[in-house]
Structure 1
Amino acid sequence: MSKALTKPGLSRLVNWLLIGSTPVLHHHRRSFQTLAFEEIKSSPEKPHEFTAFVLHGLLGSGRNWRSFSRSLASYLSYAQWRMVLVDLRNHGRSAEIEGLLPPHNLENAAKDLANLVRSEGWDWPDVVIGHSLGGKVALQFAKSCDNGHYGDDVSLPKQLWVLDSVPGKVIQENGDGEVEKVLRTLQSLPSTIPSRKWLVDHMLKLGFSKSLSEWIGSNLKKSGERETWAFNLDGAVQMFNSYREADYLPLLEHTPKGMEISIVRAEKSDRWSRDVIQQLDHLASKQVDEAEGKVSVHVLPNAGHWVHVDNPKGLLEIVAPRITSIA
């Protein structure tokens, strides 16, 4: 099939979203001993040509990115794209899978993606989009692919999108103190919760914002007459510790040939120090060596850390046009 098709503009996308977007198809699937995932396709009746993995953040799940992924699939409908919304280990439906053994670190979280590709017999993803914790899992996946950890037949992603995730080691005063406070609070609670309302009220009393408290409350599932976490809290804490310590700035300094790593910094996010911003701007402005890939940096206006909630349209305007260059 020829891929030299007309690319719809953003104005057309807005019209689609107002009057009804291109049909998309959802599949909820889980393979034995591999990650749980959901698929969203540009066109249900046609085979896909390209694949993007979408990776959520800490304590989240793939479903958090359904709305954005639908919009992205609609924009890219000139070609046949498939969005694979993954539940990372210890999160969502993957928290129920006993075969995802420790250590719960970024290396194994990225290896889970490779195992998913192998077990399903898929081609390797053309694009990987990761938010927060998922952004560093995406960077580790690219690093491991480039180092041959998954075999010699691996195709590296052409684009990697790291959404409001500092690629270097996390310095506490740069914003993850609140994450630590949330994790300590959740660890102090019983394993079963009386109700979602009780949890939200409890978080509010402790001084957390209403939006954060309600989001934490959305991560409960029924356990008899009570509620329990929809994630493995101990495993998630281990992943967060690995996230804090991981440093992928060397990967950005020598990006694998043929790959573009795009960093999206939320304008109102408190996670970025002046030094890191300057370092990324320098990497993005340096002359590209033919033997290496490139780095680009984007600022998402009017958004805090929850980029897909605060400004989904603005995020789409950054991401979608660049992804079209692949087809």
Structure 2
Amino acid sequence: MATRTIRSKLGLVQLTWFWNRSSNVGLGFNKFSKRSVETLAFEEVRASNEKQYNATAFVLHGLLGSGRNWRSFARSLASDLSSNAPSSVEWRIVLVDLRNHGRSAEIQDLHPPHNMMNAAKDLANLVKSQDWPSPDVIIGHSMGGKVALQFAESCMSGDYGGTFRVPKQLWILDSVAGAVTQENADGEVEKVLQTLQSLPSSIPSRKWLVDHMMKLGFSRSLSEWIGSNLKNSGGDGEAFAFSLNGAIEMFNSYREADYWSLLEHPPKGTEILMVQAENSDRWDPEVVRRLERLASRGEDESEGKVTFHVLPKAGHWVHVDNPKGLLELIASRIASLA
């Protein structure tokens, strides 16, 4: 184990690295712990380690992303909940790297098929392996939203055993509940995946990748985001921090998965909060109308409920385009949970 202390603008930062594949990092008022296990890699974000947590929110990234993409938002959420949640509730945020993504791409035990069902089962296995209670909240962006819905559906069916309960809140961020047909897809994701498949196994540099993708017509923001997922390959070049073939399998499963039945009959005690990014191009008008109808239904004591929200000033990358608005939308509702 090696420990070093460095000074940053936020004050003293202590980094403690555990070479048995775990580390703890404290940054200002936020405490982080990173662990890689044979189920999934994850990070914990808490406002303070002085109190034992008694409530948990999982954050699930989208296709080709990783938990670290949500680290800044998780810090803000943990801080807000620490200030505004009841004093008896101590929240922690768990940033998960889904199979084939981030540090989980290096884990050999995550066998195919790489689909929504197995991605959700990975979450259950993570909970079991760490001896955690079921998460109270799951926040899922894009593909991560469908993993969250699958997790809830499998909990309802008893697939993970009787000790698992459906989360109290499911936040589905700019992800449609039904199958994504070819007619409703703009084809950009497919173009990105095809482009990545055509690249050399060793990428010369992040700058080279960004320039190359922009020459092919992709936007700078998208190109730089793809470039942010590079890691040192140990040689002269860099490699992606995801398994491309596995991610493609997951994308195909994401497109085919349909969870309208879950939204039609959400489990008692659960709220499914569907969030549309105002400037997103992923929403068919009929899908929006269907969600609005579900959200306007009267209360049914035997079931949970669905609510529908529009996040202004945001495209698909909600946590980048309008992080303040997203935090205001989510934090107060999570803080209200008993």
TM-score, structure 1 as length reference: 0.92
CA distance in 2, matches of 1:225, 1:80: 45
- Partners of 1:170 and 1:176 within 8 A in 2: no
- Partners of 1:52 and 1:128 within 8 A in 2: yes
Task: Give CA-to-partner distance per residue, 1:33-73, whole Å, 9 cap, x none.
Answer: 21000000122211101000000000000000011111111
Distance apart, 1:30 and its partner CA:
1.4
- Partners of 1:50 and 1:126 within 8 A in 2: yes
Corresponding residue to 1:48 among 47, 53, 56? 53
CA distance in 1, matches of 2:97, 2:152: 18
Tell me the equivalent position of 2:194.
Answer: 184
Tell me the equivalent position of 2:31.
Answer: 25
The percentage of counterpart residues that share the same residue type is 70
Tell me the equivalent position of 2:227.
Answer: 217
Distance apart, 1:316 and its partner CA:
0.9
Gaps of 5+ in 1: 1-20
Task: Give CA-to-partner distance per residue, 1:103-147, whole Å, 9 cap, x none.
Answer: 000000000000000000001100000000100000000000011
Greater Cα offset, 122-131 or 173-182 = 173-182
Q: How many residues align?
A: 306
Corresponding residue to 2:133 among 111, 123, 127? 123
Aligned AA (2:206): R
Task: Give CA-to-partner distance per residue, 1:158-184, whole Å, 9 cap, x none.
Answer: 000000001111123434511111001
Matched, 1:172 2:178: no
Aligned AA (1:260): E
Corresponding residue to 1:249 among 254, 260, 265? 260
CA distance in 2, matches of 1:175, 1:86: 27
CA distance in 2, matches of 1:49, 1:24: 17
Runs of at least 4 residues of structure 1 off by over 2 A? 171-176
Q: For residue 336 of structure 2, give the secondary structure of its aligned residue in structure 1.
A: helix
Aligned AA (2:104): S
Aligned AA (1:306): W
Tell me the equivalent position of 1:317.
Answer: 328
Tell me the equivalent position of 1:198.
Answer: 208
Distance apart, 1:155 and its partner CA:
1.7
Q: For residue 51 of structure 2, give the secondary structure of its aligned residue in structure 1.
A: coil
Aligned AA (1:289): D
Tell me the equivalent position of 1:226.
Answer: 237
Tell me the equivalent position of 1:3.
Answer: none
Distance apart, 1:22 and its partner CA:
8.1
Task: Give CA-to-partner distance per residue, 1:239-293, whole Å, 9 cap, x none.
Answer: 0000000000110000011100000000000000100000000000011211110
Matched, 1:299 2:310: yes
Aligned AA (1:198): W
TM-score, structure 2 as length reference: 0.89
Corresponding residue to 1:37 among 38, 42, 47? 42
CA distance in 2, matches of 1:173, 1:50: 41
Root-mean-square deviation over aligned CA pairs: 1.2
CA distance in 2, matches of 1:229, 1:319: 31
More strand by share: 2
